[in-house]
Amino acid sequence: MEELEMESDIPPLTTESANLELPIHGERLVENFIEKPVQNFESTMEITEAPTVNEFPTLFAGKTLLELCSSSWSRSHKAKDDIQPYLRGCKWSPDGTCCLSVVNNDGMHLSELPRDLYDSTPPANRTIDILDSVVHVKEAGLIYDFCWYPGMNSGFPETCCWITTKQNAPIQMWDAFDGSLRCSYRGFNAVDEMEPALSVKFNEEGTRIIAGYKKVIRTFEVDRPGRDYAEHKIASPASCIATHSNLMAVGSWNTTINLYNVNEIGNYKSIGKMHGHGGGVTHMKFTPDGIRLVSGARKDHRLLVWDIRYYRRPLNILSRAVDTNQRVYFDVSPCGKYLVSGGTDGILKVWDTKQVNWKSSLDVTDDGVDNVTYKFPLHMDCCNSVSVHPLRPILATGSGQFHFQDPIKLIEEDEHHTIKMEGNKVEENKIEENCVDKSEECDEKSDMKYSSDSENSLVFWWIGDLLELT
């Protein structure tokens, strides 16, 4: 049986040049990808380089979302209150076979797309599958950013990897088959101390890793792990990075976005600086044509759409709910027609770029009009991450956020369990027995209160045309 190959300009990440080891237990995912050939899947994969509106599957045509698969995380009864396993982001692999998600205090999880969704349209009465993690990398510490290798193809195990950067650790490359650590890329400051990167990104060719730090941008060669890198000084921390062709946008915590032109040897030339956000920039995304840039910030209810040909003012302002400092992801469909974003209110918003009233000039202080095309209340908690499948009309969403305990309720619960010294010993004994008998019930109520306020889940949704319910 012939293996499916993806046509791409990105050269495979060879283990010979990178001096990496092939995965030992990598047969399972390849078999799942190759064992069941997908009808016309090869022709579909050929358009991933430059998809158009006509070639890409129709999205949101029925104005209905069908839940396909889901997975959830819950806090252990023995864990402390500040240990909360909520999702911090999810991203589809470039070949669309699996989805990588980052869970707070629980590392990274890799979930496979069910094979029946490779080529067929699910019925409306399809049973919801429970997603199991095929790979779980148990990593402690706060993960700042993560990124797939752009040439990832399950038919070539050496290309199946992703990179992460986390607190007090270097940039690490992980194998997507067995979750093993392949190599690391270390950046050092002026006093020769290893410092973690705040953001990471592959260039489009997959030959370099661009890492943003507090004062510099470091460029690593993928085939040369270690501490060999090139530096470019910056004035403010690089909180997020977006690239398209030879353009690079660097967002910062000081609410600004810097545009750079990157030449063939990796040198950066500043183009200009964009202002407009009310908080630190947390996520950016170029449209497929590379003309527009969409940016979002923390505690900022606005998505700013920029025309990089005239970047002094935003082209348009879109409204979403962001009430916290966490990173709330958004995504642009591969066809470039739809912009999808979550929010702290749990509502998924979709903008059709063909129907949005674009403006030639706009004041950055304008609060914007909610000109959203579609609204879908999907989650009871914050919808912090969305990712559109690169080939199929499928959307992945992640939910959850850190929940603070109500101090007033905690004081009331403590007073309820406190034995008053003014009463007699008989009353004290009764209260003690009452508390002992109901201690488990009180703990269960506390857990119920926690679970009712939070939703830590990863869900796959069908956003294409649906078969009629029979």
What residues does 402 pair with on adjacent strands? Answer: none
3-state secondary structure of 181: strand
The closest alpha carbon to 61, from 412, 350, 363, 454, belongs to 350
Which residues does 411 contact at the CB level (< 8 Å), separation at least 6?
none
CATH 2.130.10.10-classified regions of the chain: 15-403+454-462
The pLDDT, as a whole number, for residue 409 is 57
Burial of 370 (0-12, 13-18, 19+ CB in 10 A): exposed
Q: What is 402-442 written as a DSSP string?
A: -----HHHHHHHHHHHSPPSSS-HHHHHHHHHHHHHTHHHH
**8 Å CB contact between 341 and 330:** yes
pLDDT tens over the chain, length 470 residues: 334 344 444 545 544 444 443 333 333 333 343 343 333 433 333 333 433 434 677 899 888 899 999 998 876 655 566 677 889 999 999 999 999 999 988 899 999 999 999 988 898 888 999 999 999 998 878 999 999 999 999 999 999 999 999 999 999 999 999 999 999 999 999 999 999 999 999 999 999 999 999 999 999 999 999 999 999 999 999 999 999 999 999 999 999 999 999 988 778 999 999 999 999 999 999 999 999 999 999 999 999 999 999 888 898 899 999 998 999 999 999 999 999 999 999 999 999 988 776 655 555 555 556 789 999 999 988 999 999 999 999 999 999 888 776 665 555 555 555 544 444 444 444 444 454 444 444 444 444 344 446 788 999 999 998 876 44
Q: Output phi, psi for 436, to 5 deg.
A: -65, -40
d(CA 15, CA 333): 32
The number of C-alpha atoms within 13 Å of 448 and in the hemisphere containing its C-beta is 6
Burial of 409 (0-12, 13-18, 19+ CB in 10 A): exposed
The pLDDT, as a whole number, for residue 80 is 62
**8 Å CB contact between 313 and 321:** no
Q: Radius of gyration (Cα) for the chain, nearest Å?
A: 24
> Whole-prediction pTM value?
0.78
In CATH, which of 2.130.10.10, 3.50.50.60, 1.10.15.40, 1.10.645.10 is domain 15-403+454-462? 2.130.10.10
CA dihedral for 440, 442, 447, 452, sign (positive or negative) = positive
The pLDDT, as a whole number, for residue 255 is 94
The pLDDT, as a whole number, for residue 357 is 66
Amino acid residing at 424: N
The pLDDT, as a whole number, for residue 29 is 37
Q: Output phi, psi for 47, to 5 deg.
A: -95, 5
* Alpha helix (H) residue ranges in 153-285: none
With tokens 């642009």, the residue in question is 332
